[in-house]
Amino acid sequence: MSIRLLTGAAALALTAGAAAADYSLTILHTNDFHARFEPISKYDSGCSAEDNTNGECFGGSARLVTAIEEARKRSNNAILVDGGDQFQGTLFYTYYKGKLAAEMMNKMGYDAMTVGNHEFDDGPEVLRGFMDAVDFPVLMSNADVSGEELLADVLMKSTVIERGGEKLGLIGLTPQNTDELASPGKNIIFTDPSDAVQGEVDKLTEMGVNKIIVLSHSGYGVDQAVAENTTGVDVIVGGHSNTLLSNTIEGAAGSYPTMVGNTAIVQAYAYGKFLGELNVTFDDEGNVTEAVGEPIILDGAVTEDEATVARIAEAAAPLEEIRNKVVAEAAEAIEGNRDVCRAMECSMGNLVADAMLARVKDQGIEIAIANSGGLRASIDAGEVTMGEVLTVLPFQNTLSTFQVSGATVVEALENGVSQIEEGAGRFPQVAGITFTVDAAAEPGSRVSDVMVGGAPIDAEKMYGVVSNNYVRNGGDGYKMFVDAENAYDFGPDLADVTAEFIAENAPYQPYTDGRITMK
């Protein structure tokens, strides 16, 4: 695939000069908010009131309200859109499901969003309730929902809105493997993103719409492929890969926007830490002649909207007793950053896998496998609250125990490392087992030197394994576990197990010990 990426500077010069009839639009955007209604720390986890007062926190709905208002004042023609995954990530979602997200998005005046995979975490029912509560369209083009009565005729593939006297076509996109990543049920069929987008572009073009924006919860790599493989897409507002695109911030994954042909691709990291602000100019034919901008960091310099602070505090009241309970102490920060845990052994992965194995070792279980996509934050040094543990492990997953052959264990590890270059959440964190990964090898042939309890794994032998109920039931591609023997999916909550393990080993000393070797 040949993908032509232009720098931000090159994006400035798609054409010289702007004609009088040109149409300018500011696209304000967020993605992967994950119920971070309160400010977050540099670890993307909870941030104390004291640290927030001292200007050390980021994001939160109250800052986002202010940033959106200020950005709208800078433009006479703006839209506000979201790239999916408003759901899941803190106790706010556990308690309110989609209700608080709907309330806040309505308050901020969103114009549209796409369905993220986490919008399906509690099945079509909760997504439908959210859609009924919001004042804007929720879109998903690459799925057949006709067999799901809760979404059929309600969840649209695309829509047209009017802004500044012009029609804008908006198309939604979700991960093609959402059936592996969440719980959409068996009535929805997910399809190829490029084909789905092109189909909607063609329909919109026939309607006379020549300015087309894709809201994509499919990841930076898929967004580039969609831009390469389709015609007529002007802007892709991304999500899913939590990618920071910027022309000024060190460590950004690419320029803002990333240009593929004449398609501008943007994404603004995650957790409400940034508000994306892209200024696009179209000519009379709907071609992008200029696309410039930069994500705005929502740090302590952004004033929090007082009414929103009060509303979030009110919503937080029922959660306080649960999350403020100190359950343990960490001697050092426990690394749970997705960039680390989805690529190698990490201390948070070891903690969770060790906790799982310790809980069920007396049941003859030898191996623990945890998907890194289930680890959602780091924990800083010092007192550890239940709220912090629940931010790391928000999914209410339960321990699952089962028996599979050594060959199936190796197959599972191969699945776990099969998408390492994409930063996929299936990467396995383990206990009771060691192995070597060659990321340069072909998927399916990357794992070697698998040892269980210090001995080479026996392909024929049956091993006792503990994971979570999501993985055991085929989530993140672990379909080889679906028909496992003696499966029991109803163990204790993974967050409770982890909290108790840290408490038993307090002050907990995070560590890595080479259980996963990267060649």
> For the residues of 335-363, what is the DSSP string, one character each?
---HHHHTTS--HHHHHHHHHHHHHHGGG
- Grouping H, G, I as helix, E, B as strand and the rest as coil, residue 175 is coil
**What integer pLDDT is reported at residue 10 of this predicted model?**
42
User: Residue 434: enclosing H or E segment and its boundaries?
Assistant: strand 433-437
What is the average per-residue pLDDT within 61-68?
98
pLDDT greater than 90 at residue 19: no
What is the average per-residue pLDDT within 351-359?
98
**What integer pLDDT is reported at residue 135 of this predicted model?**
98
What is the average per-residue pLDDT within 404-408?
98
pLDDT greater than 80 at residue 8: no
What is the average per-residue pLDDT within 465-487?
95
**What integer pLDDT is reported at residue 9 of this predicted model?**
41
Buried b (16+ CB within 10 A) or exposed e, 356-392: bbbbbeeeebbbbbbbbbbbbbbbbeeebbbbbbbbb
- d(C-alpha 114, C-alpha 129), whole Å: 15
pTM as predicted: 0.80
**What integer pLDDT is reported at residue 20 of this predicted model?**
52
Q: Name the residue among 109, 117, 139, 119 with its Cα closest to residue 28.
A: 109
List the structure tokens of 18.
Answer: 């702007």
Contact between 256 and 100 under an 8 Å Cβ cutoff? The reply is no
Q: Are strands 78-82 and 23-30 parallel, antiparallel or unpaired?
A: parallel
**What integer pLDDT is reported at residue 349 of this predicted model?**
98
**How many other CB atoms are there within 10 angstroms of residue 303's CB atom?**
12
**What integer pLDDT is reported at residue 213 of this predicted model?**
98
List the structure tokens of 351.
Answer: 């903690």
Percent of the chain with pLDDT over 70: 96
Contact between 500 and 357 under an 8 Å Cβ cutoff? The reply is no
Question: Would you give the DSSP letter of residue 490?
Answer: -
CA atoms within a 13 Å half-sphere pointing along the CA-CB vector of 412: 34
Residue 16 pLDDT class (50, 70, 90 cuts): very low
pLDDT greater than 80 at residue 321: yes
Contact between 372 and 425 under an 8 Å Cβ cutoff? The reply is yes
Buried b (16+ CB within 10 A) or exposed e, 142-166: bbebeebebbeeebbbbbebeeeee
List the structure tokens of 263.
Answer: 């398609």
pLDDT greater than 80 at residue 3: no
User: Residue 516: enclosing H or E segment and its boundaries?
Assistant: strand 516-518
* Helix 99-108 and helix 61-74, axial crossing angle in degrees, nearest 10: 20
pLDDT greater than 90 at residue 46: no
Query: Measured in whole angstroms, how far is the alpha carbon of residue 36 from the centre of its chain?
Result: 12
What is the average per-residue pLDDT within 113-138?
97
**How many other CB atoms are there within 10 angstroms of residue 310's CB atom?**
11
| Preceding peptide of 295 cis, ω within 30° | no
pLDDT greater than 80 at residue 73: yes
- d(C-alpha 165, C-alpha 439), whole Å: 51
- Phi/psi at 255 (nearest 5 deg)? -80, 155
**What integer pLDDT is reported at residue 13 of this predicted model?**
41
Least confident of 7-16, 306-315, 390-399: 7-16
Q: Helical H runs in 137-218?
A: 178-181, 193-206
pLDDT digits (tens, 9 = 90+) for 226-275: 999 999 999 999 999 999 999 999 999 999 999 999 999 999 999 999 99
Residue 21 pLDDT class (50, 70, 90 cuts): confident
Angle formed at CA 28 by CA 22 and CA 29, multiple of 5 degrees: 135
Q: Who contacts 299 (Cβ-Cβ below 8 Å, separation ≥6)?
A: 55, 57, 58
What is the average per-residue pLDDT within 394-421?
95
pLDDT digits (tens, 9 = 90+) for 185-199: 999 999 999 999 999
Contact between 87 and 118 under an 8 Å Cβ cutoff? The reply is yes
pLDDT greater than 80 at residue 159: yes
Residue 438 pLDDT class (50, 70, 90 cuts): very high
Residue 5 pLDDT class (50, 70, 90 cuts): very low
Q: Helical H runs in 155-305?
A: 178-181, 193-206, 220-229
What is the average per-residue pLDDT within 70-86?
97
Query: Residue 483 class from Cβ within 10 Å (0-12 exposed, 13-18 middle, 19+ buried)?
Result: exposed
Q: Please, what is the average pLDDT of the chain?
A: 94
**What integer pLDDT is reported at residue 394 of this predicted model?**
86
What is the average per-residue pLDDT within 450-457?
96
Sign of CA dihedral 143, 148, 150, 156: positive
User: Residue 11: enclosing H or E segment and its boundaries?
Assistant: helix 8-11
**What integer pLDDT is reported at residue 44 of this predicted model?**
81
pLDDT digits (tens, 9 = 90+) for 161-218: 999 999 999 999 999 999 988 889 999 999 999 999 999 999 999 999 999 999 999 9
What is the average per-residue pLDDT within 395-404?
92
pLDDT digits (tens, 9 = 90+) for 287-316: 999 999 999 999 999 999 999 999 999 999
- Phi/psi at 370 (nearest 5 deg)? -120, 135
- Grouping H, G, I as helix, E, B as strand and the rest as coil, residue 25 is strand
